[in-house]
Each structure stands twice: as C-alpha cells, then as structure tokens.
Structure 1
Amino acid sequence: MDRFKAQRELHAAVKTCGADPFGVKMDKIVSSTEAMIEGRRTILCGSNNYLGFTFDADCIEAAKKALETSGTGTTGSRIANGSYNDHKALEADLADFYGKKHCMVFTTGYQANLGAISTLAGPDDFLIIDADSHASIYDACKLGSATVIRFKHNDPTDLDKRLARLADQPGNKIVVVEGIYSMLGDHAPLKEFVAVTKKHNAYILVDEAHSMGVLGKTGQGLVEHDDVLEEVDFITGTFSKSMGAVGGFLVSNMDDFDVLRVACRPYMFTASLPPATIASVRTSLAKLRANPGLMEKLWQNVDTLYHGAQNAGFTVGKQKGPVVAIHLTDPALAARAWRALLLNGVYVNLALPPATPSGTALLRCSVSAAHSTEQLERVVSILANVGRDLGLLKSPAHAVAAE
C-alpha cells in the first residue's frame, strides 16, 4: 500500500547496516542478562529488566504453581470471567504499595495508559501532555474525545502558560507526564509540575513505567523521589520493566473509581492477564517491598555504564538512570554502530528519527541490577572500540552531557 511507502524506504535504509535492528531474534534466553543471538552469546543491554526478575527463582516458582492450579489463561475479560482471586489481590497489593485506595490492573502497560487517559478525559475536557510523551499516551489522546494540548518537554513554565490560557474554559484539565522518559532517560521536574497543576486546579497523571522499582526509597518511582505522592491524582505503570513480566495498572484515590471498570473500553474488551503472570508480578512486587536494596545494585550498575560511556568520549543524557542514551548525529552511522555492537556480542536498542526526541539518533542502552560489573565493563570496552573504528570518537576526553 502506498501509505506505507515512507516506512518501507526508511526500513530498507536501516537494514543496509547488515541486519534488521527492529527484527532481532533471540535464539535462546540464557539469563536475565544474556541471550544467544546469531549463534553468539550476547550481553543484553537493551531490555528493560531493571531488577532482573525475569529469571528470579521465586517468581518462576509462583508462576509454575499458578499455571498448574489455574491453567494457561482466563479466556475472558475482567468484566466477564477474567477476574480471579489473584487479580483482585494484585490490585490490593498495588493500592497498598502506593498508599492509594483503588487500583485497576490491565493486560499491558500500553493499555493502562490507553484506557486510563482516554476514559478519564471526556469531550468537554482538556488533556495537556508533554511533547515527548510515549506513543501510548498519544494514542490515548486519539482514542478519547478531549481537546489535546502539548507543552514543551519538561518545561513547567510552558505548562503554566498553557493552563493559564484555559482558566476560563469549563471542563476538567488533566496533565500527563512521565517519571522517566524511555528514550533519553531524563526525569520530569515533577515537584514543579505538581505545583503548577494545583495552582490551576488541574489534575495530574504520572506514568511511572520506567521509574517504578528504580526511584524513591521504596521504589514507588518519581512520585516518591520528589515527595509528591499525596498530591498526584493518578499513577499508571507497567509490569514489563522492573516487575519482569507484562501488564499495567492505574492507582488513584478517585471517588467512584470502580465506575472506570465499566467505562474503560481497553479494560472491558481485552482478555485479562494469565494467572501465572499475576502470580509472578505479586511475587516480584513483594520482593521489591521486602528488599528495596535491590535498587542500590541497579544504581551501582548505572554508574558503571553511564560514566564508562561518558569517559570513553560518548555524549550521553544529562541525567543518570537505567536508560543510558548515547547520542549520535548520523542515523546511518548509528545503524552501523548498532550492528557492530551486535557482532561483538552486545545487544542495545537503535532509535532513529523521526521517532526520537529532537530527531537524534540514539544507541539506547538499559541497565539491570542483574548485570555483573564485568559485563558492563565489557560493554563499555566494546562501545569504545566500535566508536573508534567508526570514527565516532575523536578523543578519549570526557564528553559533555547532552542537553
């Protein structure tokens, strides 16, 4: 079809690096941090397995027991036959974890944003979203009927101006931001955003997909890190990052919260999560709550990769986090670098314009608490060798963090 012409041409150009960066096949998963790819043992530095729970023995055992007692799936939605005891128990666990009254669990993190945002904002309301929002947030805006307004990325002053212009407009105003942004790894200035939204009597929803289990004393995310949990109206998140599985959630103190269960189409018309997944997530959440020190190992590993890449001469994001984005100016060179890394046993994500913020080509690396220091030092060494071979590194001097 002609409508896919631009995508076909872009995809074909990317594949000239010698492989398809968006179609890599994991022949065998060896552990939380390694896989066999193209016959080579490869360090996985492009997953979001932040706490390494995908191969945690307790999570696997819980999933096995649920599989044996409750079967492979629910074969129905949450409003039909798809609510089991453990689905409700996980919702209670998450509500308690965040100190909120209510929780809904969705089948994916994407659906959590799609369902929550499109349902909360009606035709007479306004959604005010960060310009660099995740695709799930943009798609939620398309699915819903509210008026959508974008503000400059991570800019409280611009948000203030946008909300001020709506002062005389009837309807709810719902601000949507993310804790950690998935491409560049930067944090929202959440304390400032909360202050602005409260000034204008607006609501605020925070997507903690990449910050749950990463930030805050107990792993609640940026809402805890910035001490604004009580002031945030809605929190969404996913189980496919720190929880090591799949699924999503919405927590809130909203009055009449349960009406969302019969108003939210992505919740109503999707089969619910398999019991084995629910069981593994309940276990990983319990382990995080019992041992928040897991995050200390993650941040030690973040330091190793972030400062290692920076000291090698690469330009990295200005904020440290489990997403370490290496900035490159040339998409073709970025694709060649991605391929060279894979051939040398390191898997990262390639992110290219127009999908990237500000049209920057990125080698998007992600760090896990399960990585060993030796693995990450090897990643840094291979990155540096590839950078020199491709002429990406002009000197070993420290690079300035990207703005």
Structure 2
Amino acid sequence: MDRVNFKKEPIVSVVALSSSACSKTSEHKEKLSATERTDTETVTDNSTALHPAKASVFAKGKELFAFAGGCLVTYAKDAPLRHDAVSKEGDFAHYIVQPWYDWFGRNKRVTTSRALNTITLQSSHGQPERPIINGGGFNYAGVYGMPVEYESLHRKCLDTLPIPGAAAPLVEAALEQAVVAFWSAGCCFTTPTGYQSNILAFTAILDDDWFVLMDQKSHSSMSTAAYLSNAGGRKKFKHNDMHDLKRLLDEIEGQCPNIMVAVEGLYSLDGDIPDLAALYALKTRYNFVLCCDEAHSFLSLGTTGRGCLEWWNDMHPENTVPTDLIDIRTTTLSKAVGGIGGLVCAAERFYPALHSRAIALRSTGESLATPNMLQALWVLRQPERLTPSLARLRAITEYCHERLERAGVFVYGERTSPVLPIHAGRPTKASELSHVLRKQGVAATPFSKPAVPMWQSRVRIGMSAEFTDENVEQLVDALIGSCAVTGLVRPRRTGPACSTEPSKGPPFQWQVDDTGLLKERDDALRYLDRLIEAQRTQLAVPGIDDRRRGGHTSRLSPRSVIDAGHRTRGQYGLGSGSSRWILGTYPPHLEVEKIVCNITGQTASMVYTNTEGGLMSTVAALCRPVKGCPKHVLLVHKAAQQPILDGHRAAPRDCKTEKVVWNDLNDLTSILQSISDGKIQRKSYITLVLTLPPTTPCNHNTTLEALFTRLLTFRRKLHGLTIFLDCSSPSSFPSSEPFSAKLPLPQALHYLATELRARILIFGSFYQTFGLNGAFLAGDGALIDELRYTSRFYVFAAAPPPFMMGMVADALGGEC
C-alpha cells in the first residue's frame, strides 16, 4: 500500500527532543515556535516527541462548566443521602472522575467474556451486549486464546499442583530458565505482579550510594519503588529528553558512586519508545546502570518480541546499539502474555542482591501463581508462532496510523507502536469519545488525571495480532467516525490525498506454514505435560514439607473451589487483560466484593491482586491532606507489618501526614492526649492502624476492648478518626480457621462507627486463609470510592485473574 503524504494541521507542540533527532538547541527553539497552535489543529513530525498544545482559556472554561453541571447531577442522584468525603481527592473522585469516566452510568465496563479480539460488556441493565472489538486489551501477540488441548493442561495443573508458584519449584525454575535464555540475561526472578517486579529490582539494588534518575512518565510502580528503596537520591528527567537527562547526570556527578537510569520500553499512554542510541552514548560517558520496564514492549516490539532494544536495532540498522545495553529488565505477564505476574531479568552481577531481596519478600508474602507460570512457558515455547504474529501486529498498526493520520485524527507516538493513544484534549471529550466508540462497536477507555495531564486526556486503543482484517477496518472506521461525531476532527474535502476509504481487498494475511506451527504447538504441549507430571511427582515425595518452600502451602484447594476455578477460567479466560479501571472488571470481582460486604457488614469493598501491594498502596493513599484539618497523624504500632511502614514512605511528598509510632496502650494514650489537648496541633485528623488480633506481646495489654475504651474517652476532642484494621498478618490466624473468624464481628464494627463516629476500613488477605492470591478492603463507602481512584496498586496494577476470584467466591460462599 502506498503511503499518502498528507500533512495535518498542527495541534501539538514539541516539548522534548531526542538527541538523535535534533541535537541543537536553536533547532529545538525553532520547532517550538513553529508549532504554537490552537488545541484543534494537528501535525505529524514523527522524528520528534510530540505532545498536545495547552488547552485554551475558552476550552478550560467550557470544561469547568461541564464539571459543575456534572457535580449538580451527581449531587441530585445522591439525595437524600450526601456524599461525605474525608479529603478533596474523595470529592474529586465522586463528583468528577467517576460520573464522567462511565458517562453517568451509560458506559460502565464490566467484561462478560474472554479478553480476545472481541468481547462482550454488561449493559447498564445488567445484560450482556453484542460482541464488540476489544480496544482496551493488551493481547499484542494474539496469544490469549486457549486451544482445547492447552485448556486440558490448565485443568490438570489446577487439579494436581498448588496455586503458589513458590510451592512448585520445578515449574518456577523452568520459567526462569526460559526467560534467561530469551533475553540472554544472567539471572531471572519472579514476582506475583508486574507492579512488584519494579519494587524487587529497585529495593534490592538501590542503597545510599546509588542515585536513580527516572523518566518523568515512568510507570507508577517505578516511582513507588524508588521511594521504597534506600537510594541516596532520586530525580526525574523530562520525558524522552536526552538533553535534560545529560543535564541531571552532570549535576549529580560525584554525589554517588553509582547511578541508575530508569526508562520504559514502550510508554503505553504516549506510544513512544526511548532513544536507545542517545542512552548508549550517555551510558558510555557516565557509566550508569540502565533499567528498563518492558511491560508493554515485551512480546510486542521487535521481530521476535524481545522488546525495545530489538525494535531499535530493527528500525535503525545504521545506528544499532549493543545487545547488552540494558542491565536490568522488569516486565509483567499481564499484558502480552495474558496471565498475571512479574519478572526481573538482570546481569549476573546483580544476582546476589536480587536473590537476597527476593527471598526476604517471598518469606512474608505471595508468589507468582502456578497457572500464570504455565501460561508464560506456553508462549515462550512457541517462537515460530510469535514471529509472524508480531509481523502482522506491526502491519495492522502502521495501517491504522496511516488511515487515522489521513483523516486528521492525532495519534501519539511511533507509527509502529501497538498502542494508539487518541488525543481528545479535555477529560469530558475523552469520556464522550469512549462512549461514542462503544456505540460504534469498539470498547476503549478514556484516560485523564492522574494517568495523564488533565488537559491532555485521551482514549487508548491496544492493537492485537488476533484482530481479523474485518476487525481492523471496523476499528479504524469507528475511530474516524467517532472523532467526527465528537468534534475532534474537522470535515475533510474529498480527494485522493484526503480519502479515508480502506484499501481494496484484505491488506493483511498470515504468511506462515500451519504445519510447522502445529508441530511447535504439540511440542510445547508435551513439554508442559511432562513438567506438570514431574512437579506432581516431586511434591508427592515424603519429607518435603512447606517450610522448605518458604512457608508457601503445597496443599490443594477443596474440590468445589477447584471446580469453580475451572468454570470461571472457561468463561473468562486466564488473565483479566487489564486493570479494573480499563476493562479488567469481571462478574467474579463484583461477586467477591458483594460477599465481603455481607461478611463484614460494610457498605462497600474492593479487591486487590496481591496482599502486600494492596496493603502498602492503601496506607499510601490514606496519607493525604484532610479537609478542615491542618494536620493528619498516622498512628502505627511498632510491630506493624512492613507494607504498612512502606505505605507511608511511598506516599506523596506533600501528603502532610505525620507518622507516629506507638509502643503500647499507655504510649498510645499519651499520644492521643497530646493531640486532643492541641499540643501537637489543633484540629488534627487521626488515622489509627491496628493489627487484629494484636501482634504485640500479651504484657502490653493492648486488647481491642481496652483500646476502644480509651478511644471513646478522647473521641469528642478529636476532629476526625479513621480506624484501619489490618487482618492480613501471617502470624495472626491459623489457616484452618474460617475466614469470618479472622474478622471482627459486624456488630462490633457498627458500634465503633456510631459510638466513636469513626470511619472503618478492614483489610484482609485471601492468601492467608485459602492459599489464593489476593486481598480485600471493606468499609466506609466514601473512603472506598476515594481509594478506588487514589490507591495506585488498584489503579495501575492488573486486576485479579477472574478464575482466581471465582475460586475465592466459592470459598467465601459458605460463610454468607
């Protein structure tokens, strides 16, 4: 197909130049001045990193007027009750984010099918809609589908092997070896989620003699990991701006003996890729360690799916970089692989630090689930299938870019990037575009603050090699038509240069030998079957107890729970395909949340993919300014779990929340007395974190009854109170006890909420009771609404696998 050289009208301004594209400051300034335009025009200079121009005063005023109207509508819907948020973030989430995000209830996204090329969503009336194109998924290489023979292997895996991957060492070792070979790395370690792969890498390597420099648009998990580490310094450079990175490298030179530069292989909300040639030149000069998060570039970029480095050398044969340029890779299994979990791949010299830290993290938490390891091995054992799939992915991606460009639709990023971030500008425009696209047969999610700047809101489309030719044509037609309906593109004159008509005939075909692929698939099936049998045999050997697996249980779930896992996997697939905020909400998630509310007696709940990540993220989100209170005090017991302490460290620097550690009941009483007397500061809000049952020694006499009696004494003098009950401590409950026995009685919680006028939050772990990955948070409805928006692990991490939530729902079902 001939490429049409059609220049769009400018809508963006160049804010950062790659060193390989434009190295002179004068050229940079010239391009900046040349691209100062209104927010309704577009340009397409693919040699530079492009961003939308600032919204005009009129556009911002129009948006604020729309926000005001939406607030009034939401306020009226709340009547006769009133939403009583603790913080401004809570108000913003309730009155601005949620109404516009789901278009006032008309665009709620509950997925009722597998996350393949087409999906079905639940309508506002609760019934499944017609199948529509899945534009919100990450099935880049098209490997989410499960042939019948492979489905039977997953049934065998769930029937015979434990869920925790740490209790299946042969399977875990096989995956690590496969990844090491895939990337020619020195070592590999697994994590329960992709979010935690960055936490492992950063906290293992960075100490006070390291300085870390991160791209301004690095994933939330990178920022969190940097603050959880003991790094001697942390700074961010402008997105993909190698000049700014060089400035910071010059600035910090000599401050620390070691420097890490952290980037992403593919920035999924911008569609761009780091300038590896410039990074290579800087690394040669400054001798830093390069860490790359390949979450979206793993199995989506490069001829064989090896990520951004392979893509760079494919695209720049005249300016290639060494294959060992990247020292540390982190990635996730929740995107292209179709499972959930994380990987850390690194050079051999980092093995001791990563090994030590991985053991420490695993000893107190969850591990990568065995079915997800099986899925990763299934994909990596079929390289001949990946190569043509990725070739098709690139072809359909370039085709979509070309047609959208000709139609005047601005798409961020590289033409070969498998994500298409469609610029909408105003948040309400992004929401409207998402709603119109759904009516046109495409599921896509709007993005605004905090994922992207408010005035650079957009709708993101994830491409998939599984898209049929008809899917591709329908997708592009829907995008162009929807952008026209929403006023994001102007009507175009007709003519060859402006035509948006598709090419005649199917432009994409599979160019592969089916026979060769079938043989490779059969070999992969036989290999996995032998691996499952070998692991089952090893587990049956007497004398291999759970302690040798770091405390991770090797016992199987009850038969009914396993059957529930089979049913939900058969209906919804293995992985969720995205986060809850995108298209990762399935009926099993909602069912578990409903059951948890019934058991705890609370009005709202939410589920997390992982216990440690959820606990840390919840505490971090609770550390924020509170309305009407100049000071917020977080009271934490000295024996609190590490994720609680990490939560305060990971909180925003301007959270205005002071952490105070208490030792015993008398110490807590003294602290409360100081606060109530105004010695610390008047109008202080208290968030009290408790572990149930208490982990403190018996002689402290910190029983719940005595504690709540003391709180009642001070409550009238306290301006506000949230009680956060952590019921996830590994040492708190034997696994033989029923789930409900690990929680305070609903009547007791109601008493606390009414007599103490306290906001209640209860955090619990499914893993500690059932051996199933995941956790829940239940409590005050206003707080849960806020945390769905502010808890980073909930917003940015992949949703819990539907099959896992199906098992949890069955395990919980007998206690309702």
Normalised by the length of structure 2, the TM-score is 0.46
Aligned to 2:429: 333
Mapping of residues 19-58 of structure 1, within 5 Å: 19=105, 24-29=109-114, 32-37=116-121, 38=123, 39-57=129-147
**Partner-residue secondary structure (3-state), 2:387:** coil
Q: 1:100 to 1:15 in 2, by over 3 A?
A: closer
**Partner-residue secondary structure (3-state), 2:348:** coil
**CA deviation after TM superposition for structure 1 residue 55, in Å:** 1.0
Give yes or no for the alignment of 1:66 onto 2:157. Answer: yes
**CA deviation after TM superposition for structure 1 residue 361, in Å:** 1.0
**CA deviation after TM superposition for structure 1 residue 202, in Å:** 1.1
**Partner-residue secondary structure (3-state), 1:255:** helix
CA distance in 2, matches of 1:95, 1:384: 43
In structure 1, runs of 5+ residues without a counterpart are: none
CA distance in 2, matches of 1:2, 1:215: 44
Does the CA-based 8 Å contact 2:168-2:370 persist in structure 1?
no
Does the CA-based 8 Å contact 1:206-1:235 persist in structure 2?
yes
CA distance in 2, matches of 1:15, 1:373: 30
CA distance in 2, matches of 1:230, 1:123: 26
What CA deviation, in whole Å up to 9, does each residue of 1:225-281 have, x standing for no partner?
Answer: 334331221111111122121111111123261442332455553312222211111
Aligned to 1:101: 186
Q: 1:155 to 1:243 in 2, by over 3 A?
A: same
**CA deviation after TM superposition for structure 1 residue 144, in Å:** 1.6
Q: 1:387 to 1:371 in 2, by over 3 A?
A: same
Please give the root-mean-square deviation of Cα atoms over the aligned residues, in Å: 2.3
Give the % identical residues: 25
Q: 1:85 to 1:351 in 2, by over 3 A?
A: same
Aligned length: 391
Amino acid at match of 1:319: E
CA distance in 1, matches of 2:264, 2:182: 19
**CA deviation after TM superposition for structure 1 residue 15, in Å:** 4.5
Amino acid at match of 2:477: S
Aligned to 1:371: 467
Give yes or no for the alignment of 1:343 onto 2:439. Answer: yes
Which of 299, 305, 308 in structure 1 is aligned with 2:394?
299
Does the CA-based 8 Å contact 2:161-2:168 persist in structure 1?
no
Mapping of residues 114-153 of structure 1, within 5 Å: 114-146=199-231, 147-153=233-239
**Partner-residue secondary structure (3-state), 2:263:** strand
What CA deviation, in whole Å up to 9, does each residue of 1:191-245 have, x standing for no partner?
Answer: 2113212311211101111111122232111122334331221111111122121
Does the CA-based 8 Å contact 1:151-1:159 persist in structure 2?
yes
**Partner-residue secondary structure (3-state), 1:126:** strand
Does the CA-based 8 Å contact 2:201-2:344 persist in structure 1?
yes
Give yes or no for the alignment of 1:204 onto 2:290. Answer: yes
Q: 1:53 to 1:59 in 2, by over 3 A?
A: farther
Aligned to 2:336: 242
What CA deviation, in whole Å up to 9, does each residue of 1:341-360 have, x standing for no partner?
Answer: 11232101211134215841
Amino acid at match of 1:391: G
CA distance in 2, matches of 1:33, 1:13: 28
Give yes or no for the alignment of 1:165 onto 2:251. Answer: yes
Amino acid at match of 2:277: K
Q: 1:358 to 1:201 in 2, by over 3 A?
A: farther
Aligned to 2:277: 191
In structure 2, runs of 5+ residues without a counterpart are: 1-84, 124-128, 313-320, 499-816
**Partner-residue secondary structure (3-state), 1:242:** coil
Aligned to 1:92: 177
CA distance in 2, matches of 1:162, 1:295: 36
**Partner-residue secondary structure (3-state), 1:105:** strand
CA distance in 1, matches of 2:212, 2:331: 18
Q: Which has the higher contact order (CA 8 A, sep 6+)?
A: 1
Which of 381, 388, 394 in structure 2 is aligned with 1:286?
381
Normalised by the length of structure 1, the TM-score is 0.90
What CA deviation, in whole Å up to 9, does each residue of 1:357-382 have, x standing for no partner?
Answer: 58411110010000012112111212
**CA deviation after TM superposition for structure 1 residue 130, in Å:** 0.2
What CA deviation, in whole Å up to 9, does each residue of 1:124-156 have, x standing for no partner?
Answer: 321100001111111112222222111111111
Does the CA-based 8 Å contact 1:115-1:267 persist in structure 2?
no
* Higher gyration radius (CA): 2
Q: Larger deviation: 87-96 or 218-227?
A: 218-227
Amino acid at match of 1:312: A
CA distance in 1, matches of 2:188, 2:150: 22
Q: Larger deviation: 288-297 or 196-205?
A: 288-297
Aligned to 2:81: none
CA distance in 1, matches of 2:177, 2:101: 46
Q: Larger deviation: 206-215 or 349-358?
A: 349-358
Does the CA-based 8 Å contact 2:142-2:389 persist in structure 1?
no
